[in-house]
Amino acid sequence: MAGNTAKDAVKFLGIPEMEKQFDALPGTLQRKVLRQAVAAGATALASSIRKQTPKVSGTLKRGLKKKPSSKWRSGKAMAARGIIGVAVGHDWAVAPHAHLVNYGHKAVFWGNRTSEQVKGTYYFNKGVASAAEKVKSKVASKARAAFAKAVKKAKG
Residue 142 identity (one-letter amino acid):
K
Higher pLDDT, residue 60 or 27: 60
Domain count, the chain: 1
Mean pLDDT: which of 72-76, 81-85, 128-132, 147-151 is highest?
A: 128-132
pLDDT above 70 covers what percent of the chain? 87
pLDDT at residue 14 greater than cutoff 80: no
Residue ranges making up the domain that contains 44: 5-155
Higher pLDDT, residue 156 or 88: 88
Q: How far apart are CA 117 and CA 149, in angstroms?
A: 53
Residues sharing a CB contact under 8 Å with residue 13, sequence separation 6 or more, in sequence order: 37, 139, 140, 143
* Confidence category of residue 1, pLDDT binned at 50, 70, 90: very low
Q: How far apart are CA 15 and CA 10, in angstroms?
A: 6
